[in-house]
Amino acid sequence: MGFRVLLLLIFICFHYSTMVRAEVPFTAAFIRDHQLWLKKGEEEVQLTRGQYVSSPKWSYDGRFIAYIDGDEQGEKSNLFIYDTKEKESYQPYTTIQTSDFKWSPLKNQLAYNSGGVLNITKEKNGRPHGFKNVSLGVRDFEWFPNGKEFIVSSQANLLPTGWGPVHLFRIPVNANLDVKKIKPFYTIQTNESDLFAISADYFKWSFDGKWVSFLAMPTASWSNDSNTLCVLSSKGDQFQAVGKMLWYKDWIKWSVSANQLAYISGEGRFFVENKKTKIADMPSSLQQKEYTPKGFVDLDLEWLSSDKVIVARAKENKAWNKGPVPTMFTALYAINIKSEEQQQITFPRDNELDRDPQVVGSYITWFRKKGRELKGDVWLKDALDAKESIWLKNIDFAPEFLQRTKGL
């Protein structure tokens, strides 16, 4: 009798642990060996073969995954869409060369920049197909939260007297190259002694759509060492230069529930020093606090909640000044921005580093790899003090989570 009870308990425990494992609420697109894969729960499915995939992005409702089919030399960059309902990849038009594409926040419509021309997809049989022109002369763009307009930047012109200003525009989706529908939004007056830039890139909206952040970027060599993080109101009437930083767009994150902007400040292209997490409160960006302790650098970040930020942190290496650039072995730390308490939450082994933190629901995920190896694994935990475990093995980059895309 006792033996039967023991077997029953073992079965119940096994069944319960299996159920808990199956309840991990993740759907992610990821790249392994340059191919597009999908993982839902614990099931992995390969979606492409014989391509060279990069930049997967989920559509508004999760039916479609847009991605780039390129090559190792970077000589081609063709836009494809995978339809999870029909289980097939297709091209929305015969050939679309782009590296800058974004889904509408409200429907399954793609906008993309091809050679400075902003286009949007039309629809055929319920799928994005074909295209319509929106505007010429586009450097970068982003949808307005209303899904009806774009904020667009145009690169500055080089004049005999120097570089001109950077112009931002507000353009309706149905502009169709009609310049009468295109409205000036803001003009960034720049100069080399203060805010010097020739373009505005990486637009990101605050949680309530009242502010948009972007990087004002100077000429190529200069931008490797310093760019200006800026914030503009949704009406285009309040502009602020927030701070200096490198050009990594994932180093800029809006709070999930407040007009607070977290970013990694610091100039100089090498990660060995001077990379500090700061948080700016809008509209007064002068109210900034630095959270990186002396002797450390932060090299990635993510909001966990309205009062907690996760960073990828390593010790400074000021001793380095020549030879191969040293690998910065980061681990994840959680910062309570109210109490200012900080704690290490991941513990990679020697020669491992943790980066690309992402929060999906109540889960914390990150990409762990060894030293200079390119591939790595995705780890997760469901609370700061919870046990960590592997969710994806041997992939090329951090995945794109469907839940994250839809704001869950």
According to the model, what pLDDT value does residue 192 have? 77
pTM of this prediction? 0.91
Average pLDDT over residues 284-288: 75
**What is the per-residue pLDDT across 60-70, written as a single tens digit (0 to 9) for each?**
999 999 999 99
162-166, 285-289, 376-380, 404-408: which range is least confident on average?
404-408
pLDDT recorded at residue 41: 87
Q: What is the 3-state secondary structure (H, E, C) of 64-107?
A: EEEEEEECCCCCCEEEEEEECCCCEEECCCCCCECCEEEECCCC
Give mean pLDDT, residues 101-126: 97
Give the residue from 403, 406, 393 showing the smallest Cα distance to 30.
393
Q: Which residues contact 167 (CB under 8 A, 6 or more apart)?
A: 153, 154, 156, 184, 186, 187, 188
Q: What is the pLDDT of residue 247?
A: 97
- Rounded CA gap, 60 and 81, in Å? 13
Q: Is the pLDDT confidence value at 377 over 80? A: yes
Output the DSSP codes for 275-316: -EEEEEESS-TT-EEE-PPTTEEEEEEEEEETTEEEEEEEE-
Number of separate helices (H) and strands (E) present in the chain:
3, 34
Across the range 177-204, mean pLDDT stands at 94
Is 3 or 365 the better-scoring residue by pLDDT?
365
| pLDDT value for 23 | 54
Average pLDDT over residues 12-35: 66
Mean pLDDT of 373-386: 96
How confident is the model at residue 191, as a pLDDT?
82
pLDDT per position as a tens digit, 157-180: 999 989 999 999 999 999 999 999
Res. 8: pLDDT tops 70: no
CA diameter of the chain: 95
How would DSSP label each residue in 313-340?
EEE--TT--SSSPPP---EEEEEETTT-
Average pLDDT in the chain: 92
The whole-number pLDDT of residue 107 equals: 96
Confidence band, pLDDT 50/70/90 cuts, at residue 284? confident
177: alpha, beta or left, given left = phi > 0 and alpha = psi -120 to 50? left
Which H/E stretch holds residue 15?
helix 2-22
